C-alpha cells in the first residue's frame, strides 16, 4: 500500500541535528501511511543520521553541492504519496501533527497546508525575537481555515500541484514566497491546520539571522521581479527605498499582530533596533539581488540552511 504522506527532510554535515526530527516523525504512529524522504547532501561514507535506519525512512543521496531547491524538487519527483510535506532538519513535530495535516487535505479543494510553529530553543540569545520575525504569524493558538500565508520551508502540498510546474519547480522552490505567490495567482487554495504543531530551532544572534535573511532576499528579489514582470523603474525604486523598507516591514508586522498577538507586538517593540537591523539586512539582500542578480546566493544559502549553528533548548519545551 502506498503511503499517504511523504515528508521531505534535507540533511547536511550536522548529522545529529536531524535525529530529533526523524524521531518525532516516527512517533506519529502512522506506520506505512507515512514515508520520510531523507535527502542526504553529504558525500558517501558520512556518518549515518540517527533514526535513518527506521523502516519508514528512504535515504535519497544527492551529490554534494546540490542546492536546496534542486534537492527538494528531486524529492518531489521521488515521493510515493499524494501529499508532500517539507520539514527543515532543525525542526521536530509534536504528536498528532501528521494526522492533522492529513485531515486538512480531506477537502479536495485544498492544495497546500500550513501549521502552528513554536520555538524549540526559547530564551537562548535572541531566539524569541528571531522566531517571532520568522514564524510569529503562525504562533498558536492558530486560527484554522483559509489563508494566503504558509510557513516558509515548512509546509505541505498536493504532490500533483507541485509536479504540475514541471521543469520550473526547482526555480520556484528557490524561494517559497514566490512559489506560494504563483500558486495563489493560479487560484490554488491554502488552509491552516491548527492541530498540527512544529517546533523550530531559531538562530540566536543578529549576525546569524542577518546572514540568512540577506541570502534569502538576494534570491527572492530578482525571482519575484521576474515572476511579476518588473521593469527597470520598479526595480530601481526598491533599491533606492532600501533604508525605508524595514520601517514598512515593522509597521506591517505590528499591524498584523496588534489584536490577535499583543504579546508578540510588545516583544517586537521592545527589540525595535534589533528588528530594524534584521529587516535592513533583508532589504539590502533584496537590493543586491535586483542589481546584480542572485549570483551564488542559492549555493551559499544551502550551506547556511544545513550548517548554521543553532543552540539547543535552554529549557525543555512542553
pLDDT in tens, 6-33: 999 999 999 999 999 999 999 999 989 9
Give the residue, 252 or 297, on which the prediction is more confident. 297
CB 68 within 8 A of CB 298: yes
Residue appearing with cell numbers 525595535: 272
Full set of structural domains in the chain with CATH: 5-200 (3.90.550.10), 206-307 (no CATH)
Nearest to 147 by CA among 98, 113, 97: 113
Q: Is the pLDDT reported for residue 260 higher than 90?
A: no
Give the residue, 313 or 35, on which the prediction is more confident. 35
pTM to 2 decimal places: 0.94
Which pLDDT score, from 0 to 100, does residue 313 have?
A: 54
Mean pLDDT lowest among 104-118, 239-253, 304-318: 304-318
Who's near 136: CB < 8 A, 6+ residues apart?
Answer: 253, 257, 261, 264
Task: Supply φ then ψ for residue 291, to 5 degrees.
Answer: -85, -45
pLDDT in tens, 29-57: 998 999 999 999 999 889 999 999 999 99
Nearest to 156 by CA among 175, 131, 176: 176
List Cα–Cα distances, 302 to 130, 205, 263, 305, in angstroms: 19, 19, 33, 5
**Residue 145 host element (H or E):** strand 145-147
Q: Is the pLDDT reported for residue 98 higher than 50?
A: yes
Which pLDDT score, from 0 to 100, does residue 255 have?
A: 82
Amino acid at each position: 500500500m502506498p503511503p499517504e504522506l511523504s515528508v521531505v527532510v534535507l540533511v547536511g554535515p550536522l548529522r545529529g541535528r536531524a535525529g530529533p526530527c526523524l524521531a518525532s516523525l516516527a512517533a506519529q504512529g502512522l506506520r506505512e501511511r507515512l514515508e520520510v524522504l531523507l535527502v542526504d547532501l553529504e558525500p558517501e561514507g558520512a556518518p549515518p543520521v540517527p533514526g535513518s535506519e527506521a523502516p519508514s525512512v528512504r535515504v535519497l543521496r544527492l551529490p554534494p553541492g546540490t542546492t536546496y531547491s534542486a534537492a527538494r524538487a528531486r524529492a518531489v519527483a521521488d515521493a510515493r504519496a499524494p501529499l508532500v510535506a517539507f520539514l527543515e532538519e532543525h525542526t521536530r513535530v509534536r504528536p498528532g501533527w501528521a494526522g492533522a495535516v492529513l485531515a486538512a487535505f480531506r477537502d479536495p479543494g485544498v492544495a497546500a497546508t500550513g501549521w502552528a510553529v513554536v520555538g524549540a530553543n526559547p530564551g537562548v540569545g535572541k531566539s524569541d525575537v528571531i522566531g517571532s520575525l520568522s514564524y510569529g504569524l503562525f504562533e498558536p493558538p492558530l486560527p484554522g481555515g483559509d489563508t494566503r500565508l504558509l510557513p516558509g520551508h515548512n509546509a505541505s502540498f498536493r504532490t500533483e500541484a507541485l509536479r504540475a510546474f514541471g521543469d520550473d519547480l526547482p526555480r520556484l522552490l528557490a524561494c517559497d514566497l514566490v512559489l506560494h505567490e504563483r500558486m495563489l495567482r493560479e487560484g490554488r487554495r491554502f488552509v491552516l491546520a491548527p492541530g498540527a504543531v512544529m517546533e523550530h530551532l531559531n538562530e540566536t544572534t543578529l549576525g546569524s539571522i542577518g546572514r540568512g535573511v540577506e541570502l534569502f532576499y538576494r534570491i527572492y528579489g530578482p525571482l519575484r521581479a521576474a515572476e511579476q514582470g518588473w521593469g527597470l523603474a520598479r526595480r530601481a525604486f526598491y533599491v533606492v527605498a532600501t533604508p525605508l523598507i524595514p520601517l514598512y516591514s515593522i509597521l506591517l508586522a505590528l499591524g498584523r499582530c496588534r489584536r490577535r498577538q499583543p504579546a508578540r507586538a510588545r516583544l517586537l517593540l521592545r527589540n525595535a533596533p534589533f528588528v530594524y537591523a534584521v529587516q535592513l539586512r533583508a532589504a539590502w539582500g533584496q537590493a543586491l539581488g535586483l542589481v546584480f542578480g542572485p549570483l551564488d546566493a542559492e549555493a551559499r544559502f544551502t550551506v547556511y540552511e544545513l550548517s548554521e549553528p543553532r543552540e539547543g533548548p535552554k529549557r525543555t519545551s512542553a
